[in-house]
Amino acid sequence: MERPLLPGGTIGILGGGQLGRMSAIAARRLGYKVRTFDPSARACAAAIADEHVAAEWNDTAALTRFAQGCGRITLEFENIPPATVEFVAKSVPSHPSANVLAICQNRRREKEFLRAAGIPCANFAVVTSLAELQAAVRTIGFPCVLKTADFGYDGKGQVKLPTAEADLAAAWDKIGGAAGVLEAWVPFQLEISVLVARTVDGRTAVYDAAENIHRNHILHLSLSPARISAATAAEARALALGIAEKIQLVGLLAVEMFVQDGRIVVNELAPRPHNSGHQTFDANETSQFEQHVRAVCGLPLGGTKPLQPSVMLNLLGDLWKNGQEPDWTKVLADPSAKLHLYDKGQAAPGRKMGHVTVTAPTLDEALRRAEGLFAALSA
């Protein structure tokens, strides 16, 4: 059995984005050394790392240098080739596994896994040609949504087909004419997500569901706890735990779900810290980032309880008007708002530059204040 990696050891993180940056902060707080690997030399996690290796995912010489001296390797980015994880796993215990990554980064494998595991998800059909798409719409029905199998996130690579009048050939072209998944449209009332952590010896910890509100397909606000019944919350936690078990997760997994008439439909899996869990840094016993570190290192898992209701507000590059940094004193003046900036340099529309967590005695108050901060920053 794999031995725990104790504080003082070195954790390697594949990927250098904000999720790696915040995982690295949590790791360093625990006394670990951190190494990051990313194709970009200016990756925002690199500033937190002891060492940063900038190289392509298939550069085995650079991967060997990166892995040497690491006691554990993990990842923070979903579109890393599974072969990269397989390569480093030959010399260093690496979590999550290449297999978990391969399932979660491809919608076809993900949906097939969910269906085989008996997890409720939208009805779907795999399509690999326009002819198959034309046949699939007859079984799935309208409205439905066509998604690319690979590299989809934040609503990218998908086309909604509202009625039988939809132009299937145009939709097929739009997703690049490669393999896709045609999904039934779920008329949900809410989107929620649940974070679950699991260690190599099968210990688990699960967070309460967060409720996610999007703008232009990108997460805008995440409310914790989600405004769902106790029964739905319990079902969400149980489903996430079941998925972690069945996929043999080691590390952290975010399970995105739709709530439709009190019932849950699982949408997507992400085997890494997740945008909807950022508020755990300030509002829970253990942050998702520390839990990620604890899980991959085989440490005892931390408590997940919320300390207070919280709302996370994403800070996208759209808030930078004419390249001008927003006036952060508006956030800093709120005594219960915590500002997190990722030091990414250039802002661009839709680019995740930071977030704010607002905590309050009630969720309503946290939401009101988060919305107020968004309005002030947008003004």
The contact set with ligand AMP (CB under 6 A) reads 122, 145, 152-153, 155, 183, 185-186, 191, 214, 217, 256, 267-268
Name the one residue in this structure whose structure tokens are 């050939």.
Answer: 169
DSSP string, 38-56: ES-TT-TTGGGSSEEEE--
Residue nearest to ligand AMP (CB): 186
In whole angstroms, the minimum distance from the beta carbon of 235 to ligand AMP comes to: 19
Instruction: Report in angstroms how near the CB of residue 8 gets to ligand AMP at its nearest.
Output: 38
One-letter amino acid for residue 159 of the chain? V
Helix, strand, or coil here: 116? helix
Angstrom distance (rounded) from CA 93 to CA 44 = 25
- Tell the smallest beta-carbon distance from residue 147 to ligand AMP (Å): 6
Euclidean distance between CA atoms 173 and 235, whole angstroms:
38
Q: Of 203 and 220, which has the nearer Cβ to ligand AMP?
A: 220
CB of 157 to ligand AMP, least distance (A): 8
| Rounded Cα distance, 145 and 186, in Å | 10
CB atoms within 10 A of CB 3: 10
- Identify the residue whose tokens are 């719409």: 137
Closer residue to ligand AMP, CB minimum distance, 188 or 328: 188
Kindly tell me which of 25 and 122 has the beta carbon lying closer to ligand AMP.
122
- 92 or 240, CB closer to ligand AMP? 240
Give whichever of 189 and 362 is closer to ligand AMP, judged by the CB atom. 189
What is the DSSP secondary-structure string of 349-378? TT-EEEEEEEE-SSHHHHHHHHHHHHHHHH
If the CB atoms of residues 267 and 310 are measured against ligand AMP, the closer one turns out to be: 267
Q: Nearest distance from residue 265's CB to ligand AMP, in Å?
A: 8
Q: How far is the CB of 223 from ligand AMP (least distance, A)?
A: 15
